[in-house]
Chain A
Amino acid sequence: MMLNYFDQFASPIFLGVPLIALALTLPWLLFPTPSTRWLSNRLTSTQGMFISTFTQQLLLPVNKGGHKWALILISLMIFLVSLNMLGLMPYTFTPTTQLSMNLGLATPLWLATVIMGLHNQPTHALSHLLPEGTPTFLIPILIIIETISLIIRPLALGVRLTANLTAGHLLIQLIATAALVLLPLMPTVAFFTMILLFFLTLLEIAVAMIQAYVFVLLLSLYLQENI
């Protein structure tokens, strides 16, 4: 069976241990649990600063009822950013390339916002299905379109993260293979391919952070609509 470029995303099993289990459990060693001391070490202080700044920024447009979602949204952000960034290192497995995981994170959280909105303030939640100022004859079709766009949100959230990371990893692998193959044949072209690979890796680092941020931001947006 020939190995193809997509096989890097099949979760490998080594000595009976699926590596996705290691990829999911080990990154949290990089995040020390802070003690109750007032002054902690540099790593804890840096992470605390990141968490407090990010919480403030994320919850700025959300009203007081949404603040109880802070813990889960910030934890999700840390979860996704560390998994994405660690996956860019060679020979690591990125769990966020698995559609199962992204859908599994997106669907319950989106569903929670929808159920909360429909339970607590059903009129307000349903009013989002009709944008203000639509012409009367467009109302029925627009309601259908808005309902479809509401249902498709968790799918979009999951697939966006999966596709971005999968495509990034595939591109890196393709261009790295090209550079390697071209090295004995056309060294100058291989050199330019290496420069391209360098910039692509920088882009992938940015994409890793941005996609995690977009995931959490969109969830907070859905929360704003419904809380």
Chain B
Amino acid sequence: MPQLNTTPWLMILIFTWFVFLIFILPKVMTYIFPNEPTLKNKKTFMPWTWNWPWY
């Protein structure tokens, strides 16, 4: 099975994580989910939106 040939394994590992961290993570992070705008006469405070919490 050619997948078991360990020669390209390090490059594939490094390249996969590189693409994953550099291209995809920022793309997903820019997705924001804003709330529907609330009316002025409503007394409720603004609820919290999902902002990809980091801590």
- Residue positions of A touching B, CB distance < 8 A: 6-7, 9-11, 18, 20-21, 24-25, 28, 31, 33-34, 36, 38, 47-48, 51-52, 55, 67-68, 70-72, 74-76, 78-79, 95, 97-101, 104-105, 162, 166
Contacts and interface: CB of A to CB of B under 8 A. Distances in A.
Contacts of A98: 3, 12
Contact of B33 (A7, A11, A20, A52): A52
Contact of A79 (B20, B26, B29): B20
Contacts of B45: none
A71 B52 contact: yes
Contacts of A28: 19, 23-24, 27
A75 B25 contact: yes
Interface in B1-55: 1-6, 8-9, 12-13, 15-17, 19-20, 23-34, 50, 52-55
18 contacts: A10-B2, A18-B8, A21-B15, A24-B15, A25-B19, A25-B23, A34-B31, A52-B50, A68-B53, A68-B54, A72-B25, A75-B25, A75-B28, A79-B20, A104-B17, A162-B3, A166-B1, A166-B3
Given A10-B2, A24-B19, A166-B3, A71 B12 contact: no
Nearest to A47: B31
Contact of B52 (A36, A47, A70): A70
B46 to A, nearest CB: 15
B12 A100 contact: yes
Contact of B13 (A70, A72, A97, A101): A101
Contacts of B24: 28, 31, 75, 78-79
Contacts of B30: 33-34
B4 to A, nearest CB: 7
A104 B29 CA distance: 22
A51 B12 contact: no
B26 to A, nearest CB: 8
Contact of B16 (A6, A47, A51, A101): A101
B50 to A, nearest CB: 7
A17 B23 CA distance: 20
Given A6-B2, A10-B2, A28-B27, 6 more contacts: A18-B8, A51-B28, A51-B31, A52-B33, A68-B54, A70-B53
A20 to B, nearest CB: 7
Contacts of B20: 75-76, 79, 105
